[in-house]
A = this chain, B = another copy of it.
Amino acid sequence: MSNYRAPVDDIKFILQNVLNIEALWQSLPALSEVDFDTADAILQEAAKISQNVIAPLNREADEEGCRWSEHGVETPVGFKEAYQTLCEGGWCGLGGNPEYDGMGMPKSLVAAVEELIQGSCMSFGLAPMLTAGACLAIDAHAETSLKQRYLPKMYSGEWSGAMDLTEPHCGTDLGLIRTKAVPNEDGSYSLSGTKIFITWGEHDMTENIIHLVLAKLPGAPAGTKGISLFLVPKFHVTDDGTLGERNAVFCGSLEKKMGIKASATCVMNYDGAKGWLVGEANKGLACMFTMMNYERLTVGVQAQGVAENAYQAAVAYARDRLQSRSVTGVKNPDKEADPIIVHADVRRMLMSMRVLNEGGRAFYLYVAQWLDIQKYTEDEAQGKKASAMVALLTPIAKAFMTDVSLDAAILGQQVFGGHGYIREWGQEQHVRDIRITQIYEGTNGIQAMDLVGRKTVQANGELLHYLIEEISHFIDSIPADSGLTLNGSALKNSIAELQAITQKIISESKSQPDILGAVAVDYLHFIGYVIYGYLWLRMAHVAETDDSGKFQHKIALANYFFQKHLPQTLSLQRKIEAGVSELLTLSADQF
């Protein structure tokens, strides 16, 4: 059923031609042995698995879903075998710490592999994604003995990970959690409480599941300063590394969801489950945030990956479906109608999907590059810039990529007409699946508040300065005889507007704090369009200066982005300038 083709060539174009990634890797001591041939081989192998093993599961698994019983959660047909294939290929530890048998590959490669896995079946891809996130937190904060005991088996994929944060009464505001952790005499803790929305909290693909759980110690301070992080295994691990007793953490039920139906979204009950503290007491939220930059980027990658899948299907359908004649005359005289790809409105949808998807791909690889620099550079100035860029770009990558990917998937469904609404064809599933990426791992509203509040106003615009400086420098480097100068000027105008609205927000927020929430999402989108514009300009620049001519289509795509998408900043600017507007006029009961 699936005709998904892993977009390896485009990933390589961005990594190699746009980002010159090999030079970066080799400049960072920890990555100096990663060369592009290795990366290429990894991508080719990931392409095979995603196309041949994972993508074929996607449609049927959505219909089948997971099945709960008191004995556990049964996954859809084929998931166990596909997971086994991932494990055998060593994919679960691709970005893991080599000290504990991880492969230590850079995020700029791992993220590309994630696109392929998530894009071919997001429900399935969530399992290795959550495991990788849990490993990051354990690696960064747990005691060595815990790392030794858990990380190698998680990198190998034999055990999976889950992140247990949300409770029925709190998601965004984790300071309200009620799960309790009481110290035991042996240095462990007993956890009691209920967590909800726990992705892959229970399943039959691995022999053990390692939960990272937020809970409160007795007498902990109120709010977010009283949260601690605990490692709670489904099965205890004996000192010789074999599995011991079943722990008192059980899945009470599965949620029925809009999409990602083949993933198990669990209610998890802790009834005196035994766990171990990870990091310092009451610093649990900070420990979770260690892995947030990686996870949030991956959520953007999920959305972009699925939107790519939707694009490919839409193109195939538009070439195949015969309906009406072109307004400029018959194009397909042997048949009773022309393929719909000849119609300008259909092309509009395909081109829009494409520039958003490829812009998104360039964006996530660009952010991943900064994550690698931040993690591995030994140069202080470079490290400082990398930290600023990661802090600034992460909420944008998460929220902007997921928002425009939903738009893209909706277009991909629209191309199919009535068939787009029928489950069998697969396009509506992409819309349903992507929709969660705007919600989980911090809603897009929360991302926008993070961007405009902590990352902009509280930083007095300094993080943004790094980005603007880089983009301005690039625009200035475009030679006057280049075909890109018009787009360069347009982007420069957008940047000037961005600086003006940023100053306005910073200044008005002092007397009117509600302006932050009022403009947050529009502001995030504004910067998102600017970044995509920057990356399209860089892609077009490569195309213009490449002698082979094989990237010429990127120039047309870049022009399309500048003419049909960047202008969105005009209305965003006006909306941001309107500030709080009438948001506070009505009382709650007037709604």
Q: Is the CB of B176 within 8 A of A336?
A: yes
Q: Is the CB of B345 within 8 A of A591?
A: no
A419 to B, closest residue via Cβ: B171
Q: Is the CB of B417 within 8 A of A428?
A: no
Quick one: copies of this chain in the complex?
2
Known contacts A323-B171, A351-B583, A517-B343; A567/B560 CB under 8 A: no
- Within the complex, the shortest CB–CB distance from A272 to chain B, in Å, comes to 25
- Within the complex, the shortest CB–CB distance from A511 to chain B, in Å, comes to 11
Known contacts A322-B169, A567-B571; A513/B256 CB under 8 A: no
Give Cα distance in the complex from A570 to B574, angstroms: 9
Question: When A and B form their complex, which 5 residue pairs have the shortest distance between CB atoms, in order from nearest?
Answer: A344-B517, A567-B574, A258-B428, A563-B578, A345-B517
Interface of A is mostly: helix
Q: Is the CB of B586 within 8 A of A345?
A: no
Q: A43 contacts the other chain (Cβ, under 8 Å)?
A: no
B contact residues around A301 at 8 Å (CB): none
Known contacts A327-B513, A591-B315; A521/B559 CB under 8 A: no
A565 to B, closest residue via Cβ: B575
Known contacts A414-B443, A588-B339; A581/B567 CB under 8 A: no
- Within the complex, the shortest CB–CB distance from A316 to chain B, in Å, comes to 9
B contact residues around A585 at 8 Å (CB): 553, 556
Known contacts A323-B170, A570-B571; A436/B421 CB under 8 A: yes
Q: A431 contacts the other chain (Cβ, under 8 Å)?
A: yes
Q: Is the CB of A422 within 8 A of B257?
A: yes
Q: Is the CB of B581 within 8 A of A564?
A: yes
Q: Is the CB of A557 within 8 A of B570?
A: no
Candidates B255, B414, B423, B575; contact of A445 at CB < 8 Å: B414
Q: Is the CB of A567 within 8 A of B575?
A: yes
In the complex, besides A341-B591, A414-B438, 13 extra interface pairs with C-beta distance below 8 angstroms are: A166-B418, A171-B417, A172-B323, A176-B337, A257-B421, A341-B588, A344-B584, A348-B517, A348-B518, A348-B583, A351-B582, A553-B586, A570-B574
A contact set with B: CB distance below 8 Å: 63, 166, 169-173, 176, 196-197, 255-259, 315, 318-319, 322-324, 327-328, 336-337, 339, 341-351, 354, 406, 410, 413-414, 417-418, 420-424, 428, 431-432, 435-436, 438-440, 443-445, 448-449, 513-518, 520-521, 553, 556-557, 559-560, 563-564, 567-572, 574-575, 578, 580-586, 588-591
B contact residues around A556 at 8 Å (CB): 582, 585-586
Candidates B328, B342, B516; contact of A327 at CB < 8 Å: B516
Q: Is the CB of A417 within 8 A of B431?
A: no
B contact residues around A417 at 8 Å (CB): 171-172, 439, 443
Give Cα distance in the complex from A517 to B322, angstroms: 17
Give Cα distance in the complex from A315 to B575, angstroms: 23
B contact residues around A517 at 8 Å (CB): 327, 343-348
Q: Is the CB of A564 within 8 A of B570?
A: no
Q: Is the CB of A424 within 8 A of B256?
A: yes
Of listed A318, A521, A583, residue having the most chain B CB within 10 A: A583
Q: Is the CB of A418 within 8 A of B439?
A: yes
- Within the complex, the shortest CB–CB distance from A114 to chain B, in Å, comes to 21
Give Cα distance in the complex from A560 to B575, angstroms: 10
Q: Is the CB of B345 within 8 A of A445?
A: yes
Q: Is the CB of B445 within 8 A of A346?
A: yes
Give Cα distance in the complex from A315 to B588, angstroms: 9
Known contacts A422-B257, A556-B586; A435/B439 CB under 8 A: no
B contact residues around A410 at 8 Å (CB): 406, 435
Q: Is the CB of A435 within 8 A of B413?
A: yes
B contact residues around A328 at 8 Å (CB): 513-514
Candidates B349, B354, B421, B580; contact of A435 at CB < 8 Å: B421
Q: Is the CB of B423 within 8 A of A258?
A: yes
A351 to B, closest residue via Cβ: B583
Q: Is the CB of A516 within 8 A of B344?
A: yes
